[in-house]
Amino acid sequence: MILNHVQERLIGELMDYARQKYPEIELGKITESPSSSDHIWVIIKGIDWNDDKAMDFMEYLSGKQEDILVEYGYPISLMPVSMP
């Protein structure tokens, strides 16, 4: 997936915002959503999707992700994954 400089900057801002509350997270990979090639998924390591913490993480980021979508038109989501 090829990102433009604005998308890269916005992903960096989202990661910085997320690390304020969840400093243990790490960037996994950046990919497109299986349901929409326009939607960017940033895979996050450090939070297990099956943990209640994942729901808190998603709720914490929802407003920031929505602001980016409204202001810039880029749907970007930080997605926690289960790690073995």
Average pLDDT of every residue of the chain: 93
Residue 83 — very low, low, confident or very high, per pLDDT cuts 50/70/90? low
Counting other chains too, the contacts that 59-62 makes at CB distance below 8 Å and 24 or more residues apart are 60/18, 60/21, 60/22, 61/14, 61/17, 61/18
- Cα 79–chain centre separation: 5
Q: What is the mean pLDDT of residues 27-47?
A: 94
Indicate the CATH number of 5-80 among 3.90.550, 3.30.1490, 3.90.1570, 3.30.300.
3.30.300
